[in-house]
Amino acid sequence: MVVTGLGAVTPIGNTREEFWRRTVAGESGIAPITAFDASLFTTRIAGEVKDFRPDELLGRKEARRLDRFSQFAIVAGREAIEDAKLPDDAECKRRTGAVVGTGIGGIITFWLNSEKANENGTWSKVTPFFIPMLMSNAAPAHISMSYGFQGPVFATGSACASANDAICVAYNYVAYGDADAMITGGSEATVSPLAIGGFCSMKAMSTRNDDPTRASRPFDKERDGFVLGEGAGILVLEEYERAKARNAKIYCEILGYGQSADAFDLVAPDPDGNGVRLAFERAFASAGVTPQEVDYVNAHGTSTPIGDPAESRAIEKAFGDRAAHIGVSSTKSMHGHALGAAGGIEGVLTAMAVHDDVMPPTINYEYPDPECTLDYVPNVARRAPVRVAFSNSFGFGGHNSVIVFGKVR
């Protein structure tokens, strides 16, 4: 299984190339919220996608019928599909599908139309596109309709593991011969009063409002919560021999995956990392690799007091002596936590890390935490061989999903 196309819309770049370049440079996309007046919230910062012009990218009529999360998915999907140069013929369209994850879906549509209904005291101001814009499967559906793809098309929803789970499902469709190619990843757009208010009530987010670029600091002792992000990351998966036969550009191979559940708590991770360790073990078995072959882990690393140590402990347990020799970075330090899109966005980066032999940094790492003792590729990207890499995503509900990327063998 190989990756032949990549597309991205993120807080630090609206194309794959810009996103990768600015990630390697260690740039932060965290800034004061502009989508609404956040002055009354305890958290007033986020990783917003900037300079995104849906009317120009999609056409004004089409853009108005799409929630922001679908807009992101379509634009990132278009880049990935064009990058892959999939054949434009009837057979390819019949045998290509799209599985895209999202944790929340059209929450911005929900917020805006609720505001309209409350202001006017009537449902008549609610857009007739409200339901189609709201539904989580809108993103893959629109990708399918844009290109005439008639393979399996639907959304996955497992909180912050949604995109990784989508990639797992897409992998299986190609592996089992049910599709020749799959468009997959995740998209999310939740920078709204509802989402910010909900996470503020949970006291889950950073309140470092006066220093936004340094607010997301995974594994650092001074971390005080995650920073919300948004965007989309889309990958095109194909069977290797098919991709090779059509002389496709190949970024890397997807070797396998591992999934598990903590069975512990709805929002808190198992502090001992036992569920995550199980996902790692299943990933090793699926991919046919050993800990000694792994060079890099793109961590879930949300910058929360509880989550980061739990993930570090899980890596230590699963990788044993090898753990101390693996680069482990959290790119959420730069683009924030995009919830259900995280695995797609970070999947793009992990594929590029394998392709270019570069480990992205964890920026804002200044004060080591005695509970987090791994090599977090602090502050500066590292050029080093990346033979095999893991990309981790964990979601509320105890959902754990790990994708294994590697050089084509």
Just list the catalytic residues.
160, 300, 337
Q: Look at residues 2, 151, 15 and name the one whose alpha carbon lies nearest to residue 90.
A: 151
Taking CA atoms, 187 is separated from 69, 118, 217, 275, in Å, by 6, 28, 23, 25
First-last CA distance in the chain: 11
Contact 42, 202 (CB under 8 A): no
- Would you list the DSSP string of 29-51? --EE--SS--TTSS--EEB---S
257: left (phi over 0), alpha (psi -120 to 50) or beta: beta
Indicate the helix (H) or strand (E) that contains 321.
none
- Would you list the DSSP string of 69-114? HHHHHHHHHHHHHHHHT---SHHHHHTEEEEEE-SS-SHHHHHHHH
